[in-house]
Amino acid sequence: MNLLQAFKMSFKSIASNKVRTILTMLGIIIGVAAVIILVSLVQGYTKSMVEYYQKQGVNKITVSAYQWNENSISDELYDYCLSLDNLVLGVTPNSQTYTTVKYQAKVNSDCQVYFGSDQYTICNNYKLVEGRDISYLDVQKYNKVCVIGAVAKENLFNYADALGKQISINGVPYTVVGVYEQKYSAGDWSSTYYDNIVVVPYTTSRYLDTYAYSNMSEFVVKAKDSASTTEAITRLTGFLSTKIDTNRGWFDVYSADQYIESSNEQTRMLSMILGGIAGIALLVGGIGIMNIMLVTVTERTREIGIRKAIGARRRSIISQFLIESGVISFVGGLIGIGTGYLLTLVLGKVLFDMIIMPSFVMSVGAAMFSIVIGIIFGIYPAAKASGLQPVDALRSE
């Protein structure tokens, strides 16, 4: 019997017991679908986190330093950050206050007011769509000007022009000189946090929040590239370790790039763990295939005896049963891949509001693994069938 005949007989046997075959495939279907869904969702989650950090800005370093019951080192820290001009593109204080922002009768009570330098925009990965940015002279001359986020503009002005208008921040008038492009899509919680902002020169914070001005101890540093980010973190950590006694204060220097790297590493580990757990379902499916193939051997004992009596070789019997078990697992794997793709698309949209497509390589690997599972668990039934003696097989009922 040639290979083509073996495949024809396998499909004929599968088609004659459709319900039993489908039930046998369930373990493979669930296992393959689970591998695809779990690994894809983990990758989707990581992708969403990476996009989140990238919107905040890559090569961005946040520096925080506090000393209890001692003079602030804000000025020293700011000057040191500025001295790293060979490594960084910009430095800005990152202090903020929560206060009421008004324009005529409209009130924006959820707005956050940030005290920044003329480099706030580049440090925090914002883009201007209208007007100008805060300038160096605005900072030096304590000019009461501001740049507002897209959501803040919508809340205060709707579709009207905001440039040149005066808004009231805690009762103090500020002139709008620029508007930022919206970072996040409407309805996203991040949009209400990062787009509903007003940025003012940090030197004017004394008019709005004396505490914020005297305790301006957090800064954002924008490095030139990833290598500069690493070196800048090392230098800033060394500088602060000589300035702050950790028994009487604390400091922290970190970058979102570190979170991205850590997130990618965790994804790889989690994907392996979840893939292994889902792989157990494939093993269970393989056991189901072995069980049904043993039943098939029992049902076709007489057929096997006839074939062997007319000269069928042992290897042809083995190949027939291995092909049959491989076909069952392969078809189950294809159905599992289709199910995995469908559920991944649905869950990706529901959980992360994004289109997540499973990896092609992973899908092919899952299909091949399902075939291997079918063949491995089909070896024992195939060997048992090929070992039957023609006389004993022909006497069976």
Non-local (6+) Cβ contacts of 203 within 8 A are 139, 140, 142
Same domain membership, residue 269 and residue 143? no
Same domain membership, residue 378 and residue 323? yes
Token pair recorded at residue 182: 């919206």
Same domain membership, residue 36 and residue 170? no
Domain membership of residue 10 (yes or no) is yes
Average pLDDT rounded to a whole number, residues 97-105: 85
Domain membership of residue 139 (yes or no) is yes
Domain membership of residue 60 (yes or no) is no
pLDDT at residue 213 greater than cutoff 70: no
Same domain membership, residue 19 and residue 124? no
Q: Which of 194, 211, 243 is the last residue of a domain?
A: 243
Q: Extract the runs of DSSP E, i.e. beta strands, from 45-120.
A: 60-67, 88-93, 95-98, 101-103, 106-108, 112-116
pLDDT at 178: 95
Question: What confidence category does residue 128 fall into, taking pLDDT thresholds of 50, 70 and 90?
Answer: very high
Domain membership of residue 216 (yes or no) is yes
| CA–CA dist 234, 222 (Å, integer) | 14
Instruction: Give me the percent of the chain exceeding a pLDDT of 90.
Output: 18
Domain membership of residue 254 (yes or no) is no
Which of 40-49, 220-229, 297-306 has the lowest average pLDDT? 297-306
Same domain membership, residue 201 and residue 350? no
Cα 361–chain centre separation: 19
Domain membership of residue 67 (yes or no) is no
Same domain membership, residue 97 and residue 40? no
Highest mean pLDDT among 45-54, 108-117, 267-276: 108-117
pLDDT at residue 69 greater than cutoff 70: no
Domain membership of residue 274 (yes or no) is yes
Same domain membership, residue 372 and residue 333? yes
Domain membership of residue 248 (yes or no) is no
pLDDT at 188: 67
Domain span at residue 236? Answer: 74-243
Question: What confidence category does residue 132 fall into, taking pLDDT thresholds of 50, 70 and 90?
Answer: very high
Q: What is the DSSP letter of 203?
A: G
Total domain count, the chain:
2
Mean of all residue pLDDT scores within the chain: 82
Packing angle, helices 301-309 and 314-352, rounded to 10: 140
| CA–CA dist 29, 17 (Å, integer) | 18
Same domain membership, residue 42 and residue 153? no
Token pair recorded at residue 274: 């979840």
- Tens of pLDDT, residue by residue over 301-352, are 777 777 777 777 777 778 888 888 888 888 888 898 999 999 998 988 888 7
Question: What confidence category does residue 209 fall into, taking pLDDT thresholds of 50, 70 and 90?
Answer: low
Neighbours of 210 (CB within 10 A): 10
Same domain membership, residue 145 and residue 106? yes
| Nearest partner of 376 among 283, 279, 281, 297, judged by Cα | 283
Neighbours of 4 (CB within 10 A): 8
Same domain membership, residue 336 and residue 213? no
Which residue type does 178 have? G
- Tens of pLDDT, residue by residue over 178-206, are 999 988 776 666 677 788 999 999 888 88
Phi, psi for 154 (deg, rounded to 5)? -65, -40
pLDDT at 58: 72
pLDDT at 143: 94
Same domain membership, residue 276 and residue 166? no
pLDDT at 215: 57
CB 88 within 8 A of CB 222: yes
The terminus-to-terminus CA distance of the chain in angstroms comes to 25
